[in-house]
Amino acid sequence: MSAVLEVRDLQVAVGGLPIVRGVDLTLAAGQRLGLVGESGSGKTLTALAIMGLHRDPIRVVGGQVLLVGTDLLRLRRRQLDKIRGAEIAMVYQDVAASLNPLITIGHQIVEAIRLHEPVPRAVALDRAADLLGEVGLANPRDRLSAYPHELSGGQRQRVMIAMALSAQPKALLCDEPTTALDVTTQARVIGLIDRICAQRGLSAILITHDLAVAGGFCDDIAVMYAGQIVEQAATKQLFATPLHPYSEALLSATVDLDTDLDRPVPAIPGYPPLPEEVDEHCSFRTRCVKAQNECRQVITLRRIGDSDVRCVLATGIPNGTDGVVR
């Protein structure tokens, strides 16, 4: 499959401190890729850098972001504005902050449509109603006159998805799209994104700290820790045989509501390193039960079986531990 989006050696710094460190990602046509990890691992900064939405003091200091061969990092602001939304779009985590509370839903979707296509307002309104229907809002034409505060959290998230789809992009970035929603609404929103991606042939990156959510949606998963990808594999492969201790720890902390209600959920002790504490050694070593002297060396991604893993001790053989310091 041809690549829709390629991220090569992406490096992002804040105030001179490296936050995203040499991230490589490839998103094929129709693929769903999960980017998972704890808060502060660099997931959202990676997405903002891909979209060119970062602002000072955040700076991209190296790498490439190729969208169907065009390096977005080399474009001028006006060139990027034409591509952003039209070719690649983003569904944000904080919907309440992303929608203007003083403007109707219809006006905001129409604005997104006409930004990339100079159609008459009446045509844009019809298309906006169609989009609201596509994302599952009842009485979509009536909803055009509603303000954000008149909708529930799940309905506002559907509006945000409709806006992201308004210019028919090739790739969709979803940054924690279900974080603020209850469990039932989360499942419905993920199901909606799943259906739309299948119907439209969309490629998608799902950013989440919830491996259970990623497992039900994504073809492949990239695990991120301290600004680096520490493991990447097909979803089934990662869930069956995680090779990095951090991946093991995240999976161990995932709760299955059908079977795990009586199981104590192990937490990962300690905290991710601060940016000034990061070096070229394994960043997870201070929290890892398997850490040895070999971990104090330059660590690079290497291929083991069908997985890419950033761990010198990984062998591809399940060790029966969860990789967590007790």
Pairing outcome for strands 302-304 and 307-309: antiparallel
Task: Write the DSSP string, 216-284.
Answer: HH-SEEEEEETTEEEEEEEHHHHHH---SHHHHHHHHT---TTT-TTSPPPP--S-PPPGGG--SS-TT
Tens of pLDDT, residues 54-70:
989 999 999 999 999 99
Burial class for 148, CB neighbours closer than 10 Å (0-12, 13-18, 19+): buried
Tens of pLDDT, residues 126-144:
999 999 999 999 999 999 9
Check residue 84 and report its DSSP letter. B
Retrieve residue 175's tokens: 């940054």
Residue 70: φ, ψ to 5°:
-95, 125
Q: Is the pLDDT of residue 7 over 70?
A: yes
Q: Is the pLDDT of residue 324 over 60?
A: no
pLDDT given at position 282: 92
pTM here is 0.91
| Type of residue at 120 | P
Closest CA to 164 of 76, 46, 51, 72: 51
How far is 275 from 294, CA to CA, in rounded Å?
A: 22
| Type of residue at 299 | I
Tens of pLDDT, residues 117-126:
999 999 999 9
pLDDT, mean of residues 10-32: 95
Retrieve residue 100's tokens: 């203007």
Sole residue written with tokens 């960043």: 283
pLDDT, mean of residues 87-92: 94
| Type of residue at 140 | P
Q: Is the pLDDT of residue 99 over 90?
A: yes
Tens of pLDDT, residues 233-289:
999 999 999 999 999 999 988 766 566 566 677 788 888 999 899 888 899 999 998
| Type of residue at 315 | T
Q: Give 326's pLDDT tier (boundaries 50, 70, 90).
A: very low
Q: Quick one: what percent of the chain has pLDDT higher than 90? A: 73
Question: What is the average pLDDT score of the chain?
Answer: 90
pLDDT, mean of residues 202-227: 95
pLDDT, mean of residues 85-110: 92
